[in-house]
Every structure is written in C-alpha cells, then in structure tokens.
Structure 1
Amino acid sequence: MQFLRLLLLPVLALTAAAAAPRRACQKAIFVLSGDSTTAPQSAGGGGWGNGFKNTTLLAPSFAENHAVNGRSTQSVLANGEWAGVLDAVTKYKSQGSVYVTIQFGHNDQKLVNFTGQFEVNLKRMVGDVKTAGGVPILVTPLARRTYTDGVLTDKLADWATITLSVAKQTKTHKIDLLKESMRYLTAIGEANARKFDLVADDRTHLNDAGSVVFGRMVSDLLVAEMGEPVRCVTKADKELSKKIKDGVMAI
C-alpha cells in the first residue's frame, strides 16, 4: 500500500498543479516618455512609440505616447511635459501596473559637456516615477540609420552606457534598444534601412512601417525584461518577431 502511494505521488502533484488557478493577468498601462525617436509620426519626427501603442497590446491594457520632438532630458523636465508623465502615473495607477519608458540621448548629445547632467536627470526621472507609484523602464536610444561605406555607425554608445549605468545604480528595469536596433540594422543593410526613413534621407526618424517594426522590437525586449506581467498583456506577432530576431527585412 505504501509502495502504491509513493508511485502515485508524482501523478497527484501534476494533477494538483494543473488544477491550480492561473494567476490573473493584471491590466498594464504604458506611458512613453522620450524624444522624436519615440514620438508620434509628424512632419518633424516620429519613432517607435505609436507602432508599439497601436499594434502590440491587448485590451484593456493600453499606452499613451508623451514623447515630444526635440526633447532632451533637460528640456522635458523644464518644459512641463515630465509633469504630464507623472500626472498620467497618478491617474492610472489605480487601474493596474503603470510602466513608464524613458528614452533620451539623441538631443542630450547635442548639449555641451552634458554627460554628467544626463545621468543626474535620468536618476531624478527614475525616482519621480517610483515615488508616483509607477515602474520606470530605462531605454537606451534608438540607433540612427547612418552607414559609412556600408557599415552602420554607432553615434550613441556613450549615452546608452550612461543609461544602463543608471539602471544598475538605481536597480531599475532597462532594455538596450541601441544594441538591438544596431544588430538588426546591420543585418538588413543600408538599402533596406532606407525603407524606414520618415522622408528621403532622414536617418533618424521612422515612417509608419518603421514604427511598427521597431515598436515590436521594443515590445519583444520588454517581454524579455519584465516577464509574464508584460507577456500576458502583449498581442503577439510571431512572424514579425522572428524576422527581427533573424535579421530579416520585415516590410
């Protein structure tokens, strides 16, 4: 009898595990903060934000794109847009988990001797989001599609390094969009990369198709970083995700 009981233990354990209720998926709200490489498509810019917002989330989860063309960490803090991001956290935190993506660097690098202040500003933004009740996610800058003799040029490494350092220092979630976008753009080559340009020879901003592709890239990185809480609110696109992973042109 004892021997039979021992034989049945693994079966009973598996049955109990299968019968256990699955933890409910909590609604997620994504608040996107950044410069024109996150912002909605317009005459002056456009990034991955609207592609992420419009194609990667399952209702009732949703995203708001608060990114603004031309912004650095300094100007977004000074001009009032950052206050709007924090207001969104306060507004939505009773509905579910509020994730705030923070992606800057393109315009910060245009400021003289600004690396130290960039670090200070990112730390402030991380602290503000946590205090407001949100979950900050630091995002390294989207790569520029600039090639020299067919080789993609990395112009944002210093700013990505600071972003990742702040994430480590503050124990904050992060995704390395610069690394992943450079890997993908290197794989597809310059001729294909030009198909993502907002207008001819715009090597920074994305058209609608580019926003969808790089919005999916951000989504895949977030799922890898955050796990089930983000995976369960994500509308999968296995074909597009595979093309990105394999370095295959996606449009």
Structure 2
Amino acid sequence: MLSLTPVMLRGDCCIPQKALFLADVPDGIYRVTVLAGDKLADTCTVIRTGAGKFVLEPLVVPEGQYVWESFILRVSGGQLKLSFSGAAPRINAVEIQPDHEALVLYLAGDSTVTDQGEDGYPYAGWGQLLPLVFKPGVAVDNRALSGRSSKSFIGEGHLQAIAADLRPRDYLFIQFGHNDSKNDEARHTEPFTTYKEYLGQMVSAAREAGAYPVLITPMQRRWFDREGAIIDSHGDYLTAMRELAAEGTVPLIDLEAKSRRLFETYGPEGCKELFMWSYPGEFLKHPAGVQDNTHFQILGARLLSQLVAEGIREAGLSDLVIHLRQGD
C-alpha cells in the first residue's frame, strides 16, 4: 500500500477509456480499492475484471468529489486484470491487498451463467452480474462455461479444478439443465439417473472440501403460449433437481419458478428487453440483429442475479446473507 495523502492522490487522475490495468500478483484472494472522481468534471466509471465480469455499480461522482469503493477478487493465473469504461471514466488510485477473510462463491453452469466477453456486448450471463449484489467480503469465481451439461462439465475436468481450490466455508452454486437434454453423447443425461448422479458428484465435491453446495434450477426460456404463460422447456430435469435437493438436504434456489414469474410479468414483447433480441444495427457487435430466446442482455442477467440474491436470503445462507447489499 502506497503511503500517499488524499490530496496527492487527487492531483493527477487517469482518464482510462477502454484502458486495461494489469498487475502481476500471486494467485489468491484480494481486496481491490479504487479512488474515482475529478476536480473539474462529473465522472462515470464502469469497472470489469477478467473476460467482462462487473465488480461494482457504475461509479457516478459529481464534479469536485471523490469516492473510494472496494470489491473482492479471486486471482488465478498470476495476473489481476481490470478494464475501465463508462461515459466519463476517472480513476486516481488502485490499491490491492490480500484478503484472508473473504469467502469465495464458485459458479458451475452453462452459457446462461458464464461471463460473456465484452466483444459480445450486451450478451451476459447472470453470474457475470452476481458480484454486484455483494458487499466486499465475497469473491464470485465464475467457472461456468457455454455449452456444457452436468456431464460434459465433469468430463472435461472443470469440477476437479474447482475442487482443488475449494476451502472450508466456500460455496459452490450449481446450475445445469439447458444442455443436458441435448442428444450428443458428450452432454446428454437422463433426468432421474445420470443427471442426478452428475449433480450429486458436484454436491459431494463441495462437501468433501468443507464447502457448501447449492443447487439452482435452470431458468425458463422466452417461450410463451397464446395466453402469455411460459411454456416449460426443462420438464423432468426440474423435478430431478428438486428431488436431489430434498433427498440430500441441499439448499435449493428455484430460479425456474422465479424466472417464470419475472418473464410472465414482462410478457412476450417486454421480455425482449431481457433476452438477446435486437434490431439490425441496434448493437455494434450484432449488426444483423439477434433473436435469441435463451440468452440474456445485461438487464436480464442483472435481474436474474437479483433473483439469485433473493434465493440466498430465502435459503438462509447466513454467511452470504450478511454480505448482500441492501435491496438485493
């Protein structure tokens, strides 16, 4: 930590539009604190880490004012990476300190959970927005990967990699189901046999490490009937996960039920604001437009992350509840 006075830190601000900050640090858990603001102008700074994970709400600071904000990251690969954007970004200082008290919340899942790269903007998974629901004290390590089922995630060694990093009192959130019904051999599972078996392996890996597993039912797709009700797209996979949670006394966040209510509130047309629907030319990265009823824009991913936070409270996950931001 640099021994600098606040006045010295405010003397020269960085204007890092689309800039990257890279720091070589040992693998571990860190508290990152930034100083944002400008003496002469209003500022708005968006900070992301890794492939595009949001770590803070946009830092909107009036002219002549400054704000310190902190967040927790788990660094792997020996390098901490931050990117800065926003309408008028200003960063005056970055402080990086090891944090030996913070919990790590690992995510295992598919494309609806994973961190989507900035090159696909506004495409986002709910795990990408989940850090925003937490105060400093929890690091979200999103290991979800596009296209994976419970079977292929384990078969490719991703559960083994998570198990090697899990510590007592960490959490492993598990959401699969979108790809388990695929017909290819690498991914297909049967709801009441292999699907439950692979989910059970993930639950066991967490418990063997002294960590806490949490099952999350997969959210629904944007499939509506003529009356504006959601058409279920997961069938027995939902029943199987709920059975496993009850049989193994595993906390369950029923994101399927929560997403159904959310989508039906928005309706068939309103839901396009949540899913990756766009007109030709609306988004630079998708010039031809998109009509995707499974994946989410940032708004949809953010609302789903808030539903997960709601589920954390309902499940009584006390170590996480105490770190939730007010309102999430």
TM-score surpassing 0.5?
A: yes
| 1:52 paired residue among 130, 133, 136 | 130
For the residues of structure 1 that align with 2:161 and 2:223, how far apart are their CA atoms? 33
Corresponding letter in the other structure for 1:218: V
Asked if 1:103 corresponds to 2:175, the answer is yes
Identity, in percent, stands at 25
**1:17-166 to 2 correspondences below 5 Å:** 27-42=102-117, 43=120, 46-53=124-131, 55-90=132-167, 93=168, 97-111=169-183, 114-115=190-191, 116-149=193-226, 150-166=228-244
How far apart are residue 192 of structure 1 and its match? 1.3
Bigger mean CA deviation after superposition, 183-192 or 135-144: 183-192
Name the residue aligned to 2:257: 179
Bigger strand fraction: 2
Gap regions ≥5 residues in structure 2: 1-100, 278-289
Corresponding residue number in structure 2 for 1:235 = 325
Q: Is 1:202 the counterpart of 2:288 in the alignment?
A: no
CA contact (8 A) 1:27 1:233 kept: no
The Cα RMSD (Å) is 1.9
Answer whether contact 1:41 1:207 (CA < 8 A) is retained.
no
Amino acid aligned to 1:110: K
**Distance (whole Å) between structure 1 residues aligned to residue 147 and residue 195 of structure 2:** 15
1:168 CA displacement: 1.0
TM-score by length of 2: 0.59
Partner of 2:10: none
Change (3 A) 1:117 1:184: same
Residue 219 (structure 1) aligns with? 309
Give 1:30's aligned amino acid.
Answer: L
Query: Counterpart of 2:103 in structure 1: which amino acid?
Result: A
Change (3 A) 1:195 1:62: same
Unmatched tracts of structure 1, length 5 or more: 1-25, 242-251
Q: 1:133 to 1:157 in 2, by over 3 A?
A: same
Q: Which has the higher contact order (CA 8 A, sep 6+)?
A: 1
Cα separation, 1, equivalents of 2:160 and 2:233: 30
The offset of 1:170, in angstroms, is 1.0
In the comparison of the two structures, how many residue pairs are matched?
207
On the 8 A contact 2:113/2:127 being kept in 1, the answer is: yes
Displacement of 1:51 in angstroms is 1.1
* TM-score (normalised: structure 1): 0.77
Q: Which has the higher helix share?
A: 1
